[in-house]
Amino acid sequence: MDMDGDWSLPKPNTLFKVKRRTAGSSLSKASSIASTFSSLAAPVAAEAVQRARDLSTERDPEGFHQLRVAFRKLRALYWAYSPYIGEEATVQATAEFKRLAEVAGCTRDWDIAGDLLRTAQESGASVELLVAAAREKRAQAVAHSQTMIKSDDVEAFLNDALLRAQTTLQSSCSDRPIRAFAEKRVRLAQRTLQKRCKRAARSESADEEGLHDVRKAGKKLRYLLEFFQPIIKGGHGRTIKELTSVQNKLGQFNDIAASEALLRGASFNDVPTEVVQESLKWLEKQKCQRMRAASRRVRDISN
């Protein structure tokens, strides 16, 4: 997507230069749909800008991961408010959130792959050359991420995107209370997760795509519950805890699947083919084990 073509990038203003606060701390049942958007979006956007700024000079694996998480949270928030933000604006913004998350995630993916290869090495697989090659790929991914993610551009884009959304919301729902709307969007996210869980559970054999769909739907629901927990009926702490547990199991499977795909799609000129194949066989075995565990967990929650 041509970001300059779709979004005019103004000079960064002070919209997100705010003190870090707990998401949702300023929300109340009497808040409007429009006012809650800025309350929820501003801390996440501020974190994304700070993470992007830090990563211009640092190479911390957790920093890249948390930057990706921030963009994922913004995608979930835009989905929640999309009935009033509008389809076109939502699609444009979330496409850029996704692109930026993927750029940040490239480094994180090589970190995970490298950790798995070192585990394979400890278990007896002869993958020393591939471990070294993965470190080089990771260094290349860092350089690419740092080139593609400029903190000033990220801040300007986020300021522009969120200001557009806030302006639209203020004109369309500034006087509408948040509670019923938030509960409706959470219920919709819950139904989507339930459908995907049941679909995955009905599959006779483990299905990678189905488990991935469950994982995405679960993340969206968890983020929305974390955003809206102060204002929606009922305590959802237990649900968030359960979703986190499921996500951990699905995440373990996804790490293997993503690493396998990463190795299959990469070229290793200085690594013998048989070494790569040995690693892929090890990953395939691990993936099958984790897929079965993830499938059992999904069947449990679908029931």
pLDDT at 7: 37
pLDDT in tens, 164-200: 999 999 999 888 999 999 999 999 999 999 999 988 8
Reported as a single tens digit per residue, the pLDDT across 233-260 is: 776 788 888 888 888 889 999 999 999 9
The per-residue DSSP string of 5-62 comes to HHS--PPP-STT------TTTT--TT-BHHHHHHHHHHHHHHHHHHHHHHHTT---HH
Give me the percent of the chain exceeding a pLDDT of 70.
90
Rounded average pLDDT over 52-64 = 85
DSSP annotation of 177 reads B
The reported pLDDT for the residue numbered 1 is 34
Confidence at residue 33, expressed as pLDDT on a 0 to 100 scale: 93
Place of tokens 């102060």: 230
As a whole number, mean pLDDT of residues 204-217 equals: 84
**8 Å CB contact between 194 and 47:** no
The span from the CA of 98 to the CA of 100, in Å, is 6
Lowest-confidence segment of 13-22, 58-67, 233-242, 253-262 by average pLDDT:
13-22
pLDDT at 6 over 50: no
- Topology of the domain comprising 6-302: CHAD domain (1.40.20)
Domain residue extents for the chain = 6-302
pLDDT at 10 over 90: no
**Angle formed by the axes of helices 178-202 and 61-85, to 10°?**
120
Q: Give the CA-trace dihedral at 290, 292, 298, 301, to 10 degrees.
A: -110
How far is residue 264's CA from residue 179's CA, in Å, rounded to a whole number? Answer: 47
